[in-house]
Structure 1
Amino acid sequence: MSKSLSGPKTLPLFQLIQWILDPIGYMEQTAKDFPDIFISNGLSTERFVFVHHPEAIQQILTNDRKQFSAPGEANRIIQPLVGDYSVMMLSGDRHKKRRQLLLPPFHGERMRSYADSILKITQKIMDSLPQNQVFIARDEMQSISLQVIIETVFGLHEGERYQELKNLLTSMLDIFRMSSMAAILFFPSLQKDYGPWSPWGKYMRTQHTIDSLLYAEIAERRENPNSNRTDILSLLMSARDEGGQPMSDQELRDELITLLFAGHETTATAMSWALYWTHHHPEIKEKILQELATLRTNPNPIDIARLPYLTAVCNETLRIYPVGMLTFPRIVEEPVEVMGYHLEPGVAVAGCIYLTHHRPDLYPDSKQFKPERFEQRQFTPYEFMPFGGGARRCIGEALAMFEMKLVIATILSRYELALADQKPEYPRRRGVTLAPSKGVKMIMKGQRELLASSIEQNNLVGV
Structure 2
Amino acid sequence: MQLPNPLKTPSWLQKLQWVTDPVSFMERAARQYPDIFTAELVGFGNTVVFVNHPLAIQQIFNNDRKTFAAPGEFNKTLEPLLGNSSILMLDGDNHKRRRQLLMPSLHGDRMRFYGQLIYDLTKKILNQVPINKTFLARNITQEISLQVIIQVVFGLQQGERYQQIQRLIPAMMSELFASPLNSSFLLLPFLQKNLGALTPWGRFLRQRQQIAQLLYAEIAERRQQDDADRTDILSLLMLARDEAGESMTDRELQDELMSVIVAGHETTATAIAWGLYWIHRQPEVYEKLLQELDTLGDSPDPMNIFRLPYLSAICNEILRINPVAIFSLPRVVQEPVKLLGHALEPGTVLLNCIYLTHQREDLYPQAKQFKPERFLERQFSPYEFMPFGGGVRVCIGQALALFEMKLVLATILLNYKLSLADLRQERTQRKGVVLGPAKGVKMLIKERYVHPKSPMTIATTSAS
TM range (shorter): over 0.9
> Deviations 1:386-420 (Å, cap 9, x if unpaired)?
01111111111011111111110110111011111
What residue is the counterpart of 1:160 in the other structure? 160
Q: RMSD in angstroms over aligned alpha carbons?
A: 1.4
TM-superposed deviation, 1:316: 0.4
State the alpha-carbon separation in 2 of the partners of residues 89 and 183 from structure 1: 21
Q: TM-score, normalised by structure 1?
A: 0.95
Q: Counterpart of 2:18 in structure 1: which amino acid?
A: W
Conserved in 1, the CA contact under 8 Å of 2:417 and 2:448?
yes
Moved more, 6-15 or 423-432: 6-15
Q: After the TM superposition, which residues 248-267 of structure 1 pair with which residues of structure 2 at under 5 Å, given as runs?
A: 248-267=249-268
- 1:46·1:346 contact (CA, 8 Å) conserved in 2? no
- Aligned residue number for residue 346 of structure 1: 347
Q: How many angstroms does 1:46 deviate by? A: 4.3
Matched, 1:439 2:440: yes
Equivalences for residues 22-61 of structure 1 within 5 A: 22-43=21-42, 44-61=44-61
> 1:393 and 1:117, CA in 2 relative to 1: closer, same or farther beyond 3 A?
same
1:351-370 correspondence to structure 2 within 5 Å: 351-370=352-371
Give distance in 1, aligned partners of 2:451 and 2:299: 18
- Map residues 89-168 of structure 1 onto 2, 5 A cutoff: 89-168=89-168
Give matches, 1:387-426, under 5 Å. 387-426=388-427
Q: Could you tell me whether the CA contact under 8 Å between 1:3 and 1:341 is conserved in 2?
A: no
The 3-state SS of whatever aligns with 1:103 is: helix
Task: Provide the rounded CA distance (Å) in 2 between the counterparts of 1:4 and 1:134.
Answer: 50
**Cα deviation digits, residues 414-460 of structure 1 (max 9, x gap):** 10111111111111000000000000000111213389xxxxxxxxx
Rounded to whole Å, the distance in 2 between the matches of 1:332 and 1:118 is 42
Alpha-carbon distance in 1 for matches of 2:213, 2:184: 27
- State the Cα distance separating 1:160 from its structure 2 match: 1.4
Give the 3 Å change call, closer, same or farther, for CA 284–248 of structure 1 in structure 2.
Answer: same
Asked if 2 retains the 8 angstrom alpha-carbon contact of 1:132 and 1:443, the reply is yes
Secondary structure, counterpart of 2:450 in structure 1: helix
Q: Tell me if the contact between 1:66 and 1:333 (Cα under 8 Å) persists in the aligned partners.
A: yes
2:271 corresponds to = 270
Q: What residue in structure 2 maps to residue 378 of structure 1?
A: 379
User: Equivalent residue for 1:17?
Assistant: 16
Q: Which residue matches 1:85?
A: 85
Q: Which amino acid aligns with 1:421?
A: D
> In the aligned structure 1, how far is the partner of 2:11 from the partner of 2:249?
41
**Alpha carbons 1:7, 1:30 under 8 Å: kept:** no
What does 1:233-252 correspond to in 2, within 5 Å? 233-252=234-253
| TM-score using structure 2 length | 0.95
User: Partners of 2:386 and 2:56 in 1: how far apart?
Assistant: 14
Greater Cα radius of gyration, structure 1 or 2: 1
Moved over 6 A (4+): none
- Cα drift, residue 64 of structure 1: 4.9
Partners of 2:428 and 2:438 within 8 A in 1: yes
Which secondary structure state, in structure 2, belongs to the residue aligned with residue 315 of structure 1? helix
Any idea what SS the aligned residue of 1:449 has? Answer: coil
Partner residue in 1 for 2:462: none
Q: Secondary structure at the residue paired with 2:182?
A: helix
How far residue 301 of structure 1 moved from its aligned partner, in angstroms, is 0.7
Report how far residue 299 of structure 1 moved: 0.7
Cα separation, 1, equivalents of 2:3 and 2:123: 56
Preserved contact between residue 14 and residue 42 of structure 1 (Cα < 8 Å): no
Which sits farther off after the overlay, 3-12 or 208-217?
3-12
* Deviation of the 1:3 alpha carbon: 8.2
Q: Which residue in the other structure is 1:183 paired with?
A: 184
Take 1:440 and 1:397, find their aligned partners in 2: how far apart are those partners?
A: 24
Task: Measure the CA separation in 1 of the matches of 2:95 and 2:26.
Answer: 30
3-state SS of the aligned residue for 1:84?
coil
Displacement of 1:65: 2.6
Contact 2:67 2:337 in 1 (8 A): yes
Contiguous gaps of at least 5 residues in structure 2: 453-464
1:196-218 Cα shifts (integer Å, max 9, x gaps): 12111110000011011000001
Could you tell me how far apart the structure 1 residues matched to 2:144 and 2:62 are?
35
Asked whether the 8 Å contact 2:64–2:391 carries over to 1, the reply is no
Counterparts of 2:232 and 2:47, CA distance in 1: 42
Quick one: distance in 2 between partners of 1:64 and 1:301? 35
Asked if structure 2 preserves the Cα contact closer than 8 Å seen for 1:12 and 1:41, the reply is yes
Q: Which residue of 2 aligns with 1:455?
A: none
Q: Would the alpha carbon gap of residues 339 and 403 (structure 1) be closer, same or farther in structure 2, given more than 3 Å must change?
A: same
Q: Which residue of structure 2 aligns with residue 295 of structure 1?
A: 296
Is this contact kept in 1: 2:64–2:70, CA < 8 A? no
Structure 1 residue 104, shift from structure 2 partner: 0.2
Cross-structure match for 1:195 = 196
Per the TM alignment, residue 14 of structure 1 is displaced from its structure 2 partner at its CA by 1.1
What do the CA deviations read for 1:249-300 (whole angstroms, capped 9, x no partner)?
Answer: 1100100000111111100000000000011112211111100111111111
Report how far residue 178 of structure 1 moved.
Answer: 3.4
1:4–1:214 Cα change, 3 Å? closer
Give the deviation of 1:350 after TM superposition: 1.4
Q: Deviation at 1:359?
A: 0.5
Equivalent residue number for residue 460 of structure 2: none
Alignment-derived partner of residue 69 in structure 1: 69
CA distance in 2, matches of 1:294, 1:418: 23
Structure 1 runs not aligned, ≥5 long:
452-463
SS at structure 2 position matched to 1:382: coil
CA shift for structure 1 position 4: 5.1
Residue in 1 that maps onto 2:457: none
- Counterpart in the other structure of 1:449: 450
Q: Distance between the aligned counterparts of 2:303 and 2:316, measured in 1?
A: 17
Q: Tell me, in whole angstroms, the C-alpha distance in 2 between the residues paired with 1:275 and 1:244.
A: 45
Amino acid across the alignment from 1:35: P
Matched, 1:222 2:227: no
Residues 134-179 of structure 1 deviation map (CA, whole Å, 9 limit, x = unaligned) = 0110000000010001111101111211111111111111212132
Q: CA offset at residue 60 of structure 1? A: 0.9
Between the aligned partners of 1:313 and 1:277, the Cα distance in structure 2 is 9
Inter-partner Cα distance in structure 2 for 1:66 and 1:301: 41
| Whole-angstrom distance in 2 between the partners of 1:371 and 1:42 | 33
Q: For 2:409 and 2:135, how far apart are their aligned partners in 1?
A: 16
Matches within 5 A, 1:328-347: 328-347=329-348
